[in-house]
Amino acid sequence: MTRGIYSVLLLLLFPLILAYLGFRTIKSPDYRGRWGERFGLTRLKQTDVLFHSVSMGETLAAIPVIKTLMSRHPQLTFTVTTTSPTGSAEVIKAFGDSVQHCYLPFDINFCVSRFIKQVNPKLCVIMETELWPNLLYFAKKNNTRLVLANARLSQKSADKYQKQITLSRPMLVALDAIAVQTQAESNRFEALGVMPDVLSVCGSLKFDLQIDDNKYSQAKTLKDSWDRSQAPVWVAGSVHPGEFDIMLQAHKEVLQQYPDALLIMAPRHPEQFNVAAVSVTQQGLTLARRSMNEAVNEQTQVILGDTMGELLMLYGTANFAFVGGTLIENGGHNPLEPAAMGLPVCVGPHHWDFAEITTLLEQAGGLRVIQDSDELAELLLQMFSQADLHDAAAKASLEVVAQNRGAMQKQLEIIEQQLQLSQLIQ
């Protein structure tokens, strides 16, 4: 498939795109506004540097990089785009009006073309692997230098790119620099036609996660309020439908040996909060919802983490973490957040989006891969009953995070090189 055919197909799918937005609006109120931004219809100012991240995770990784560049080069102007409301909320919280912010338009040619002409960036930094054919084409046509930062490319994604090589290769070779997380991923990019001198292995920005001391104190205060200081507490973070009942079944087995145990279940998407609450009650478990400030009492068995931006703090209240999107064919979410909070971690078999990070943690002893509810319950009971096993896994998690820090400085150097080549700095 070529970019021309791709663009025509997107135009033909325009009614479905509108239907998709309407569906998301029904499920999540956060999608109800700012439709004009998604079609490139808003008025925007020209900017020097454009940063794009997809959702909250990528945005949180990008924020320290952007802040460092802003402090080093106060003369430069920045636009930061996201595609999700959760990512947008993080940008607004971190930067206020010090950057121009909007949603990135859908990759429809006239929408993206108008957006690029208005913003007219000299440098565009795209986080991870959020690559869109029309975005890269019109940016390159605008003489914008392109950096893919914190880049990751699973074998599954590489295979998809290979199947559509006439569409993917022009997009990939348009990139002026790729700061890739691992050597294995660098090899995959090279196999798809990217020149070796474009690639730099830098590690993952997510290893450079800086945890505010307030997170620890908030977690301690919250746990003290539950009066469960000796009770096992575990978090099922970023879980999806299809995983809710698996978590609850495992927790039921834990409750048989530890009647005061707590599960904190945090769904990945806000539109699934109510679905998760229904699942808890249908399983006959007693629920307290964070969003409603419901008290955690002696009868509470499950806390629903139905708030945004609290997951890292909630990990700090726990003894163990499961990271979701891995017992369904989703690709998983970042296991480094609970690891950085000093927790033993487990994931399901479908963790390809974080395969290298998962392998590092697993080889060190900080992470286990489980297949189903029974294995999860068995592992939880082991961790709660064997302090030495738990503490060794927790120490291994922290050591992996500490040993792999430094990606931010390496990636900043690559971005600075491209700033020089774009003549934004001397």
* One domain for residues 269 and 194: no
* CATH number for position 323: 3.40.50.2000
Q: What pLDDT is recorded for position 125?
A: 98
Q: What pLDDT is recorded for position 60?
A: 87
**Which string of DSSP letters, residue by residue, matches 256-287?**
HH-TT-EEEEEESSGGGHHHHHHHHHHTT--E
* One domain for residues 350 and 224: yes
Q: What pLDDT is recorded for position 238?
A: 96
pLDDT > 90? residue 17: no
Let me know if 413 is a catalytic residue.
no
Residues 6+ apart with CB under 8 A from 57: 206, 333, 334
* One domain for residues 170 and 217: no
* Assigned domain for 83 exists: yes
**Which string of DSSP letters, residue by residue, matches 196-231?**
GGGEEE---GGGGPPPPHHHHHHHHHHHHHHT-TTS
Give the H or E element holding residue 304. Answer: strand 302-304
C-alpha span between 64 and 68 (Å, rounded): 6
What confidence tens digit (pLDDT) does each residue in 82-123 have? 998 889 999 999 999 999 999 999 999 999 999 999 999 999
**Which string of DSSP letters, residue by residue, matches 388-404?**
HHHHHHHHHHHHHHHHT
What confidence tens digit (pLDDT) does each residue in 39-72 have? 999 999 999 999 999 888 889 889 999 999 999 9
* Of residues 220, 145, 205, the one with CA closest to residue 175: 145
* Assigned domain for 189 exists: yes
* CATH number for position 81: 3.40.50.11720
* One domain for residues 67 and 151: yes
**Among 37, 58, 130, 362, which one carries the catalytic annotation?**
58
* One domain for residues 132 and 90: yes
* One domain for residues 308 and 172: no
Torsion angle defined by CA atoms of residues 180, 182, 184 and 188, in that order, rounded to the nearest 10 degrees: -10
143: left (phi > 0), else alpha (psi -120 to 50), else beta? left
As for how many domains the chain has, the answer is: 2
Residue 212's beta-bridge partner residues? none
Torsion angle defined by CA atoms of residues 401, 207, 238 and 218, in that order, rounded to the nearest 10 degrees: 70
* One domain for residues 227 and 258: yes
* Assigned domain for 157 exists: yes
pTM listed for this prediction: 0.80
C-alpha span between 107 and 420 (Å, rounded): 28
Residue 145's beta-bridge partner residues? 123
Average pLDDT score over the chain:
93
* One domain for residues 156 and 220: no
Per-residue burial over 70-85, b if 16 or more Cβ lie within 10 Å, else e, is: beebeebbbbbbbbbb
Q: What pLDDT is recorded for position 308?
A: 86
* Assigned domain for 311 exists: yes
Q: What pLDDT is recorded for position 189?
A: 97
* One domain for residues 336 and 353: yes
* Assigned domain for 426 exists: no
Residue ranges making up the domain that contains 368: 213-403
- Average pLDDT for 21-47: 85
* One domain for residues 274 and 146: no
* One domain for residues 289 and 175: no
* One domain for residues 17 and 162: yes
Alpha helices in 73-143 (DSSP H): 85-95, 109-119, 133-141
* Assigned domain for 224 exists: yes
* Assigned domain for 208 exists: no
